[in-house]
Chains A and B, each alone.
Chain A
Amino acid sequence: MRSTPIKYSRTPSTSLSGAAAPRSSTPVRGRSRPQSQCWRKTSLRFLPLVLACCCLLAAGCGGKTEDGTTAGSPGATGDGPAKYTFAVIPKGTTHEFWKSVHAGAVNAAMEIGGVEILWKGPLLENDREGQINVVQDFITRQVNGIILAPLDSQALVDYVAEAGDANIPVVIFDSGLEGPPENFVSYVATENYNGGALAARRMGEKLGGKGDVVLLRYNPGSESTGQREAGFLETLQKEFPEVNILSSDEYAGTTPESSLDKATQVLNRHREEIDGIFAVCEPNATGVLQALRENELAGKVVFVAFDPNTDLTSGMEQGHVHGIVLQDPVAMGYEAVYALHRHLQGEEVKRRIPTGEYVATPENMNTPEMQQLLHPEQFQK
């Protein structure tokens, strides 16, 4: 994977060498010096500003070495020019999930060769305007393609269209986008409905087709979790008619804390009847697991979670968690980059690319495949 073709090392033009950081740092810094000196002469007042700008340059050069690399290899100075520059815009940059997407994207870029990945999300998760700005800036920058996980299915529509105006193809991943489908090339994501269905089957199987279960919803208006919830409920009704749904109208909120509170309430109310519980996303599952433990119901109530974390994985080892529906973020990044590249090569690309859903159980969790999904690869500099 890492073997980058030597033939690209002699670049025909230096135009892109700026992308490879160590080179660019010298000229930029060199230029700043006379500038700042002449400022100091004009006025001491701007000294702090000058300092800040120097800081910007220094930080800038540092930052770029780490991130602006072509996907070739870390010592990418010898690399050929990237034929394509792809901007990958996640919903946030701090969550592990996105780091796995990043890893997948970089893997694909290295396989293809000559693709540069620019990775940049909004400063805060949930900052729609920040994400819009990032999209616009990459359009200005005239990247070859944009891979976007829209924070809002509606707010980003116009700006994806704007990319279309500038002839920049867009691949959507993770969450859907409204608006005319011709605005983007492909939608690469988990089949959330199917994920919910998988959870329902695991639940039904574990309960032996009989019992009372609770569905803890995420937050009103969230599309992906809504699909999971629908998939879960409808599959249960269809395939396990004798499983009774005790409650399906409680929203656990977006944080583990709020989920803990809500789950505790629900468990108290249905303590006598409850046989199973499904939490539709990772923060909720974390809260529910804790609630189960605090109520001494862990292991006694069948618990199916969605998305892994270390807490849930170890909970599964202890027998407190009976199933975790897994997505494949690495595949998401990987498939998205490939889809965009194929599109640019003039090849046909599927409108919808599912990235697969899996269920980890105490029985299969130690198989290599499940281990890889439970502990997905993360991007490292």
Chain B
Amino acid sequence: MTDSPAPSSPKQQPAPSVPARGPAEGGPRRHWSLLGSVVGPFLALIAVVGLFGAADSMQGEGGTFLTVRNLQALSVQTAPVAVAALGMTVIIIAGGIDLSAGTAMALCATVLAWSLKEDVALVIRTGGNVQSAAVDVKEAEDRLTEIDRNLSAADRQLESSGLPAPRRERLQNRRTSLQKEQQELQTALPVLQQRLSSMEQQSATWTRFTPAVAVVLAVATGCLCGLLNGVIISALQVVPFIVTLGTMTFYLGLAKMLAEETTVRPDRATQVPDWLTDFLSIRSHAQIGGFPLGVWLAILLALLLAVVLRYSVFSRHVFALGSSEATARLCGINVARNKAAVYALGGLFIGIGGLYQFARLSVGEPTAGIGLELRVIAAVVIGGGSLSGGRGSVPGTLAGAAVMAVIASGCTQLGLRNPVQDIVLGDIIVAAVTVDQIRQRRLAAG
């Protein structure tokens, strides 16, 4: 910032200069830079909104960009990335990175979808669900009718004369084995039917817990994914980039395995609860005070995290870890445990992000997280987070996520083509990283 003294023009070398400056000029300068780091990302957001708003209002019909409806749409488009990016903010502040965030998030969404589809509360209670019990009954019944048909066909053939002896014998054998199977099935069928009806009864009590259990499972999955990353990183002391590059594919594989390599589609009418369908919907019936539940929850989470980052002892350890791990160790901070905690916390937000992703897609798609991690990281970086650690903020991250959503949405509404959108987004990220570097250098010079 070239705020106060006029002579310090950019022409001069930005070389070490601080001692003389320290006490005298430090005050205003510091306040500026502090203000800049908080307001900076929002300026970017305002600038982008202003640009698109202006361009949009010129394209006729008065423009639709600066409307409440668009604000709502943008908020729900921002929310999934923003929630995951909150966790990533903590990880990046601690000097780490989590490339597995995207696929882990899709894994969580898949776990949620799978749990709903399988009626997980009932599975936990009884070891099965109505669907599978019904399938068992149906299979048994089908098999019985088939046996019936085969038996009568065999009978008819046996009745007809002129069958060669060996053939007749084979038919006889076949007939006995079929009859045996028929008997077995006939005894088994009532058991299966009873199982089905008891399952249905139990379902009346237990199925209502399924959504809650499913959400808990999904969020727990996120935590576990994060914890696993953290434990590997601190136990093996491998660079987070490499570890999470590995777990990225690992989580993708887990999700695909769970989903049996397809998309998990719980039945929207019966299996997905209404609150989850409306969680990120901007249709009027889903709104509470202008926004759906999910947006409010995201805001609440952001507030909570902001408080934690400002007031908690943990956050000081995280910041110290990110700005200098050696210093943290020197100050008696348990580096390994804190790292594991940081990634687990990141995982918690990823789990919640999975909930958002499912709410938005209403299906569990194992591959839906590929590439998502980069958007999550970009949100943090645009928001002033530093990939070398030690810096990042909640409001910045929210603004960063919003900037990306605004660009994507604005490009669509202006009728700009995809390549343009890609290019603009890339520019913004490079700009953000450049700003970070400039700040960094200024501090290093000091």
A and B, direct touch (CB closer than 8 Å): yes
Q: Check: B16 CB closer than 8 A to any chain A CB.
A: no
- Say which residue of A49, A63, A140 sits within 8 Å of B69 (CB atoms): A140
Give the contacting residue for A118; candidates B58, B415, B423, B428; CB below 8 A. B415
CA distance A120 to B417 in the complex (A): 7
> Which one of B44, B363, B411, B424 contacts A154 once the chains associate, using CB atoms below 8 Å?
B363
Partner of A31, one of B54, B73, B282, B368: B54
Give the number of residues in B that approach A within 8 Å (Cβ atoms).
73
B residues 31-70 near A (Cβ < 8 Å) are 36, 40, 43-44, 47-48, 51, 54-55, 58-61, 64-65, 67, 69-70
Is B60 in contact with A154, judged by CB distance below 8 angstroms?
no
* Whole-angstrom CA separation of A162 from B280 in the bound complex: 12
Cβ of A369 under 8 Å from chain B: no
B229 at the binding interface (Cβ < 8 Å) = no
Given the known inter-chain contacts A28-B55, A60-B55, please indicate yes or no for A44 contacting B10, CB distance below 8 A: yes
- Cβ of B283: which chain A residues have Cβ within 8 Å of it? 158, 161-162, 165
A residues within 8 A CB of B419? 63
Contact of B44 among A24, A49, A138, A220 (CB under 8 A): A49
B221 within 8 A of A: no
A219 contacts partner chain B, Cβ-Cβ < 8 Å: yes
Chain B residue with the shortest CB-CB distance to A81: B60
* A244 close to chain B: CB less than 8 A: no
Judged by a CB distance under 8 angstroms, whether A1 is at the interface is no
B405-420 toward A: CB 8 Å interface, digit per residue (1/0)? 1011101111111111
Are A129 and B361 CB-contacts (below 8 A) given A55-B427, A158-B281?
yes
B360 proximity list for chain A (CB < 8 A): 129, 132
Interface 1/0s, chain B 360-397, versus A by CB < 8 A? 11110101100100000000000000000000000000
Across the interface, do B412 and A152 meet the contact criterion of CB distance under 8 Å? no
Given contacts A53-B51, A140-B64, A157-B268, contact A45 B1 (CB under 8 A): yes
* Residue B80, interface by CB 8 Å: yes
Interface status of A224 (Cβ within 8 A of chain B): no
Query: CB-CB contacts of A48-63 with B at 8 A, as 1s and 0s?
Result: 1101110111011011
Q: Complex: how many Å from CA A118 to CA B59?
A: 13
Total contacts A to B, CB within 8 angstroms?
189
Judged by a CB distance under 8 angstroms, whether A221 is at the interface is: yes
* Chain A residue with Cβ nearest B259: A221
Q: What CA separation (Å) do A44 and B55 show in the bound complex?
A: 25
A201 at the interface (CB under 8 A from B): no
| Cβ of A74 to closest chain B Cβ, rounded Å | 16
With A and B bound together, what is the CA distance between A358 and B109 in angstroms?
Answer: 40
Interface residue A205 (Cβ < 8 Å from any Cβ of B): no
A66 at the interface (CB under 8 A from B): yes
Where chain B touches its partner, the secondary structure class is helix
Contact A56 B427 (CB under 8 A): yes
Interface pair A60/B60, CB less than 8 Å apart: no
B396 CB → nearest A CB, Å: 14
Interchain CB contact under 8 A, B77 and A133: yes
Question: Given known contacts A49-B431, A63-B419, A133-B409, is B60 in contact with A126 (CB within 8 Å)?
Answer: no
* CA of A118 to CA of B428, assembled, Å: 25
> Which residues of A have CB within 8 Å of B361?
128-129, 132, 152, 155
Q: Are B428 and A24 in contact (CB under 8 A)?
A: no
Q: Contact size class for A?
A: 35 or more
Cβ B59 vs Cβ A123 within 8 A: no
Could you tell me the distance between the alpha carbons of A167 and B260 in the complex, rounded to whole angstroms? Answer: 38
A residues within 8 A CB of B48? 53
Contact between B51 and A121, CB atoms less than 8 A apart:
no
Partner of A123, one of B282, B414, B418: B418
Q: Which of A15-23, A312-320, A370-378 contacts B (4 or more CB under 8 A)?
A: A15-23
- Are B362 and A16 neighbours in the complex by a CB distance under 8 Å? no
Asked whether, in the complex, the Cβ of A93 is within 8 Å of the Cβ of B428, the reply is no
Q: Are B73 and A44 in contact (CB under 8 A)?
A: no
A120-B417, A152-B365, A221-B263 as given contacts; A46 in contact with B409, CB under 8 Å: no
Select which of B277, B412, B422 is within 8 A of A141 by beta carbon. B412
Q: Is B438 an interface residue (CB 8 A)?
A: yes
B17 at the interface (CB under 8 A from A): no
Distance between Cα atoms of A68 and B428 in the complex (Å): 23
Complex contact B371–A124 (CB within 8 A): yes
Is B363 a contact partner of A52 (Cβ separation < 8 A)? no
| A48-B40 Cα distance, complex, nearest whole Å | 12
Query: Is B265 interfacial (CB 8 A cutoff)?
Result: yes
* Residues of chain B with a CB closer than 8 A to A221's CB: 262-263
Q: How long is the Cα–Cα vector from A128 to B438 in the complex, in angstroms?
A: 37
> Provided the pairs A132-B361, A221-B263 are in contact, do residues A141 and B413 lie with their beta carbons within 8 angstroms?
yes
Query: Is A137 located at the chain interface by the 8 A CB criterion?
Result: yes
Q: Given that A154-B363, A161-B283, A162-B283 are known contacts, is A28 also in contact with B417, CB under 8 Å in the complex?
A: no
Contact A134 B365 (CB under 8 A): no
B12 on the A face (CB < 8 A)? no
B2 at the interface (CB under 8 A from A): yes
Q: What residues of B have a CB within 8 angstroms of the CB of A162 in the complex?
A: 281-283
Contact present for A18 and B265 (CB under 8 Å) = no
Scoring A51, A53, A56, A161 by chain B CB atoms within 10 A of each residue's CB, the highest score goes to A56
Which B residues between 424 and 439 are near A, CB-CB below 8 angstroms? 424, 427-428, 430-432, 434-435, 438-439
CA distance in complex: A129, B370 (Å): 12
Pairs across A and B, CB under 8 Å, 10 listed = A18-B58, A28-B58, A48-B432, A118-B415, A123-B418, A123-B422, A127-B371, A138-B413, A140-B69, A140-B70
Interface residues of A (CB under 8 A from B): 15-19, 24, 27-28, 31-32, 43-46, 48-49, 51-53, 55-57, 59-60, 62-64, 66-68, 93, 118-121, 123-124, 126-130, 132-134, 136-142, 152, 154-155, 157-158, 161-162, 165, 178-179, 219-221
Interface, chain B (partner A; CB < 8 A): 1-3, 10, 36, 40, 43-44, 47-48, 51, 54-55, 58-61, 64-65, 67, 69-70, 73, 76-77, 80, 260-263, 265, 268, 277, 281-284, 357, 360-363, 365, 367-368, 371, 405, 407-409, 411-424, 427-428, 430-432, 434-435, 438-439
